[in-house]
A and B are shown apart, each in its own frame.
Chain A
């Protein structure tokens, strides 16, 4: 298996632009998580899905952020409009159903820079 796939790996955009981050979880995994990592705040959980359904989005910072999971093999995190304070590394992770209490498999991350 190729592991969790994220695209793009790097994104540089200007303030006010829409940004879409993409994630392909590991096949067969029923849980999908979106995280944001910064030096100041560490790794923060934004939202997670179970069987494509959003379970908890309380970590989404504000209405500018939205996430979807239209099917078991694809998820997006969208920021509209983007702001410089959104600059961070965004990680997607997946976890198999019966092992939701165990490990999460992280993707390589998307480094977002908003100018």
Chain B
């Protein structure tokens, strides 16, 4: 079955720096990859979708890359702010209907 791994440890960075989160997968060939943000006690909130034929996608301070050869997606937050502190989840799908989620990476931006 598919395996999706995100940074196993929490990530702490200084305000203003770029945060880079990793999503690696095996036994899978997703056509779609999403990133979500989840705050404590709340449901995940969609951030970005990238398709297998897209190498990179940007939205404001967010940038996502999708390397199907390395089986990896990188999620960047530039000029990070304390308000960016949350857990970030990647989700993969080969049909676009069912998405399988990673366990998430906890990000803390230190003022």
Q: A31 to chain B: which residues have CB within 8 Å?
A: 97
**Also in contact, A91 and B98, with CB within 8 A (given A101-B32, A103-B49):** no
Neighbour of A102 across the interface among B42, B45, B49, B89, CB < 8 A? B49
Tell me whether A105 is interfacial, beta carbon within 8 Å: yes
Tell me whether B103 is interfacial, beta carbon within 8 Å: yes
Which of A40-48, A70-78, A80-88 is the contact stretch?
A: A40-48
Which of A11-19, A60-68, A106-114 is the contact stretch?
A: A106-114
A-B CB pair tally, cutoff 8 Å: 53
Neighbour of B46 across the interface among A41, A50, A100, A104, CB < 8 A? A104
Q: How far is the CA of A4 from the CA of B46 in the complex (A)?
A: 14
**Also in contact, A108 and B97, with CB within 8 A (given A42-B103, A101-B32):** no
Interface of A is mostly: strand
Neighbour of B98 across the interface among A45, A102, A108, A109, CB < 8 A? A45
| Chain A interface, number of residues (Cβ within 8 angstroms) | 24
Q: How far is the CA of A102 from the CA of B41 in the complex (A)?
A: 23
Q: How far is the CA of A103 from the CA of B89 in the complex (A)?
A: 13
Q: How far is the CA of A55 from the CA of B42 in the complex (A)?
A: 26
- A76 → B minimal CB distance (Å): 18
- B1 → A minimal CB distance (Å): 11
Q: Is the CB of A103 within 8 A of B101?
A: no
